[in-house]
Amino acid sequence: MWDLIHAVLIFVFFCITVAVGFYAKKHAKDVGSFVLGGRNVGPWLTAFSYGATYFSAVVFIGYAGMFGWGYGLSAVWIGLGNVFIGSLVAWKLLGRRARIMTKHLSSNTMPDFFASRYDCKALRTVAAVIVFIFLIPYSASVFNGLSYLFTSALGLNRIELGYEICIVAMSLLTALYVVLGGYMSNVINDTIQGFVMLIGIVIVIGGVLNDHGGLMGSIVELSKFSSPTSEINGVFTSFLGPEPLNLLGVVILTSLGAWGLPQMVVKFYSIKDEKSVKAATVISTIFALFVAGGSYFLGAFGRIFVSPEEATNAVTGKFSTDMIMPIMLEKAVSPLTISLIIILVLSASISTLSSLVLSSSSTITLDLIAPNRKKEMSETGKVTWIRIFLGIFIIISMLLALYSYRTNDMYIAKLMSISWGALSGSFIAPFLYGLFWKGVTKAAVWASFVSGVGITVTHLILSNGPLFGHSFTFPTGLPINLASPINAGAFAMLFGLMLVPVVSWFTPKISKEVVENAFAGYDIPVTSEQKKVLPKDEVV
C-alpha cells in the first residue's frame, strides 16, 4: 500500500520536474542562456539553486549518517561551517566580484575564467579536463545516496537489481530535464525543490526526536554509547566529540570547498544585480541553516536507532554508513513522513545532479572542444554538444555508482571527498586570489592545479593498496586520521591557498595590460540611489 503511494508521489514529482524542463526550453536557445540563464537570474532562484546544489543525498544520506555516527552531536559543527563559511562568507566575499569580473571577461565557465584572467588558453584546457574527470565521483555519490534510500523506502531491496533500477531511473530523469531546459530549468526546479527540502527537514527532525521522548530523551540515550577513540563518558553528546581534529577536516572540506567548485561558483556568474546579490546572501544562509544544520543534527542520533549489524551491505557483508540514515528513518517516522523524506532527498539530489552534469558538459564543450576546432562552432552546435556530453557524463557516473555499491569500496563520503579535494584543491586559490589580487602568476595557477590533483590522486593510490609493488600503511594512533580522503582533501585546499602567493612572489608576472583589463570591470561607474550613496558635492 505505502510502496504504491510512494511510487505515485515520485511519479508526480517527475512530471513536475519534466514540465519545468519543457517550460524552460524557450530560454535555452543559445550558449549564454543555456549555461547561465542570460546572467539575469533573480535572488530567490539563485539562492535556492545555490543551496539545493550544495546539499543533496550526499549530505542527507552519506555525510549525515557517517559523521553523525562517528562524531555524535558535535557533527552539527559541520552544518554550522556550511552555513557561515560555505554560504554566508562565500556570498559576501565572492558573489559581487565574481559576477563583475566574469561578466567583464565574458567568461561562462570556471576554466574560461582562468584562461581570460591569466591570459593562458592551456589553463582552460587542463581545467576543463580536471572538471570533467573529478565531477564524476561526486555525481556517483549522489546516485548512491538516492538509491540507498529508495531501495529501502520503496521496498525495492526485496527484488533483484532493485538498487540498479533506482540508479537508471534517476539518470534518465536528470538527463531529460537538463537537456531540455539547461540552466533555467535547473534553477526553477531548484527553487521548487528547495521549499520541499525546508519543509521536509523540519518535519523529519520532529518525528525522529519524538521517538525517544523528545530532544532531552534522545540526548540521554545517545550519551550511553562509548567511542573506541575516546575515554570520555557520553562523548557523543560532548561539545567537540571524540575526534576534534578529524572533525575540523570535515568542516574545512565541506565548507571552504564550496568556494572552488565550478557548479557552485557559476551561481555567482548568473545573478542579475546588486540587490539580488544582497538578498541571495541572506536567503542562501537561512536555507543552509535549516538543511545542513538539520541534516547533521538528525544524523547525530543514528546510533540510538541502528545497530552495526542492521547497516551491513548485503552484497559485501561489510558495515556501510550509507545505510544508517535510510534504516533510521524507516524506523523512526511514519510511512506518510517517509513519503515526504523521499521527495526531500529526491529534490536535493536531482538539483545537485543537474548542476553537476550541466557544469561538466558545458565545460567540456566550451573550454575543450570549441576552442580547439579549426572551424568556429555555431551557438546551436555548442548547445547540441553540451547536451551530448550531458548524456556521456551521466552514463559514466551511473557506472561508477554501480561499481561502488557492488564493492562497498567507494562509499558516499569517499567519492565526494575525492571530487571536492581535487577540484577545490586545484581551483580555490587561483579563483579567490584572482578576484582580489593582481599579483597572481601563471606559474602559481599551474602549481595549484598540480598540487590539488597530485595530493588527491597520490593519497587515493596510497590508501588503496600497493604502490610499485610495495604496500603502504598510514601511521595510526595519531589524533588525526592520515588515511582519510576527507583530511587529504582539506589539506589540498589549504596547501593551495598557501602555495599560490608563495609561487607568485618569485615567478614572472602577467603583463600589466592583461591584469588591468581583468580588473577594469570593478572601476566602471554605476548610478545609485541617494539612500545608499551621498552625492560627491555634499560629502564633507
Angle, alpha carbons 288-181-192 (nearest 5°): 35
Residue 240 DSSP symbol: S
Indicate the pLDDT class of residue 400, thresholds 50, 70 and 90: confident
Q: What is the pLDDT of residue 46?
A: 78
Cα(47)–Cα(412) distance, integer angstroms: 25
Indicate the pLDDT class of residue 388, thresholds 50, 70 and 90: confident
Q: Superfamily for 2-25+39-412?
A: Sodium/glucose cotransporter (1.20.1730.10)
Cα(306)–Cα(325) distance, integer angstroms: 9
Share of the chain above pLDDT 70, in %: 74
Helix ranges (DSSP H) in 256-378: 262-270, 274-299, 324-332, 335-363
Indicate the pLDDT class of residue 114, thresholds 50, 70 and 90: very high
DSSP-assigned letters across all residues of 178-194: HHHHHHHHHHHHHHHHH
- For 492-504, how does the pLDDT look when each residue is reduced to its tens digit (9 = 90+)? 999 999 999 999 9
- For 158-217, how does the pLDDT look when each residue is reduced to its tens digit (9 = 90+)? 555 556 777 777 777 766 666 665 556 666 766 776 777 777 777 777 777 777 778 888
Q: Distances from the Cα of 491 to the Cαs of 242, 249, 482, 524, in angstroms?
A: 21, 8, 10, 38
- Across-strand partners of 312? 319
Task: Give every CB contact of residue 369 below 8 A, 6+ residues apart in sequence.
Answer: 377, 385
In this structure, what are the phi and psi dihedrals at residue 422, rounded to the nearest 5 degrees? -70, -45
Q: What is the pLDDT of residue 214?
A: 80
Cα(355)–Cα(138) distance, integer angstroms: 11
- For 447-475, how does the pLDDT look when each residue is reduced to its tens digit (9 = 90+)? 999 999 999 999 888 876 554 445 566 77
pLDDT(9) > 70: yes
Cα(523)–Cα(526) distance, integer angstroms: 9
